[in-house]
Amino acid sequence: MVGFPLLLIPLAVYNIIVFLMPGASFTDPLIKLPLMSGAEWQVTLSDVLLAVAALLLLLEVIKGARPGAKYLTDHLLSLIVFGAAAAEFVLWPKFATSTYFLLTLLALVDFLSGIALRTRRRALAAPTVSAATASQPARKVEPEPAREPHVDPAPAAPAASPAPAAASVAEQVLQDHAEPRASIASAELPAGGQPPAGTPQR
């Protein structure tokens, strides 16, 4: 939300009195206030405008001190108000008075105070951000464990057939040798089953 430049109010009142009320005087007393000292204080229109402008300047400073209250547009408006007041003071004879000069000076103070507050806020925010960053513990980057090379297991060797026992091999050999002898002996016998005479017995 763009803030309205409050210093524009007394400057606008001064312009209204100059252009629309040419017979009005800024130095004529409006009211007279008796003081405890016995003196009489004569309040003029210039005094009223300056007092109102001082109070409005205080409100502008309070608005600018709030976090995020003053934006760039607000500073630009304050600068425009000061530039217009300074141009009227220099170029128009009716504005060449001490009262209008003080109003213009207050407009300048409004613009400069807004810039100073914004700069101060940035200067305070920068160390806060850096301190918050420094307070965070540094994250340790753990090295990734080295991966072991993947080795395919060797194919299992086919199960060897159990070797035949030595006793069974010996029996097989003896049987192979015994069968031819028996067949030979049966072939040598005659039909009656008795060996011929003179044949040696085995």
Does the predicted model carry a pTM greater than 0.75? Answer: no
202 residues of the chain, pLDDT tens digit each: 457 889 999 999 999 999 998 888 899 999 999 999 999 999 999 999 999 999 999 998 888 777 655 577 888 899 999 999 999 999 999 999 999 999 999 999 999 988 888 787 667 665 654 554 555 555 555 555 556 555 555 555 555 444 455 556 556 656 665 555 544 444 444 555 455 555 555 4
Count structural domains, the chain.
1
Do the strands 29-34 and 40-44 form a parallel or antiparallel pair, or are they unpaired? Answer: antiparallel
> Is residue 50 in a domain?
yes
Cβ distance 64 to 114 under 8 Å? Answer: yes
> Is residue 176 in a domain?
no
For 18, the domain range is 8-131
> Is residue 192 in a domain?
no
Give the number of other Cβ atoms within 10 Å of residue 124's Cβ.
9
> Is residue 30 in a domain?
yes
Cα distances (Å, whole numbers) of residue 4 to 74, 140, 142: 7, 52, 57
Where are the extended beta strands (E) located within 154-199?
A: none
